[in-house]
Structure formats: C-alpha cells, structure tokens
Amino acid sequence: MTKKLETKLEIKSWDEQPYREFPDGSKFTRAEVVLAGDETGLESAHFDALMYYRPDGTSAYVSLLELTGAIDGREGTVVLRGEGSYDGTTAKSKSTVVHGTGDLADLKMTVDSASTHDDYPFMPLTLKYE
C-alpha cells in the first residue's frame, strides 16, 4: 500500500552560481541548497541542481536530493534523482530513489514538489512511498 507524507522543509541556505552565461541572457547555474529537518522525522536534506535559464527567466533543471532521518519510523538516508522546471511562477519537480541506506535501503519512493516564491523560506515536498 502506498503511503503519503506532505511536509515543508525550511531552506537554511541557497547558493546558486552561474557557470556559463550567454549574450541572450540565458545561462547555466549550479545550486547547492541546505534544508532543515521537520517534525515528521526528517533530520536534514541537501538539494543540488544544475539549471538552465532561458532568456525569459524560465528554466529546466536536474537534481539530486538527499533526505536523512526517519520516514514512517524507519531510519536512514535516501538519495533521489529528479527533473524539474520553473515557468516564471512555480518550480515543479519529480524525483525517484536511486539509493537508500539503513532501514530506508529498500524504500520505493517518489518525491514531488511545487513551490512558488510565496512558499519561501520553505520547500514543500510530497513523499509517496511503500
């Protein structure tokens, strides 16, 4: 049976730096984001992304998300690979597990996020797992 957990992790730091910029305003950036734990049992999270911004400010990105702590009473760490986009208003992403440790080693999970500037300093996440 699939379970669902909705949470908002607090963004503690967001370091995003361009590493290639073009005359039309488009650019490639790398973001390193540190997230605090929450009351659900997640202790910490780290989000790393490579992003491509179009001249209009919209973007596409790929990411790795590491979640550490307890999920449904099971302790460990999961690493998820994701893809996302930003349409100028909302950043949306979907991630799937690529590795787990401890009691989370065999966890099957997806994580969805849809976030606007109004959510800051939080990143909403919906975990679906079995």
CA–CA distance, 84 with 129 (Å, rounded to integer)? 20
- 93-100: average pLDDT: 97
Q: Is residue 5 part of a domain?
A: no
The domain containing residue 102 runs over which residues?
14-119
Q: Is residue 39 part of a domain?
A: yes
* Tally of structural domains, the chain: 1
To which residue do tokens 């300093």 refer? 121
Query: What CATH number does the domain containing 99 carry?
Result: 2.40.350.10
Q: Is residue 101 part of a domain?
A: yes
Q: Is residue 129 part of a domain?
A: no
CA–CA distance, 73 with 61 (Å, rounded to integer)? 32
Q: Is residue 130 part of a domain?
A: no
Task: Convert the pLDDT of each residue in 24-74 to its tens digit.
Answer: 999 999 999 999 988 888 899 999 999 999 999 999 999 999 999 999 899
The pTM is what? Answer: 0.90
- The tokens for 54 are 């179009």
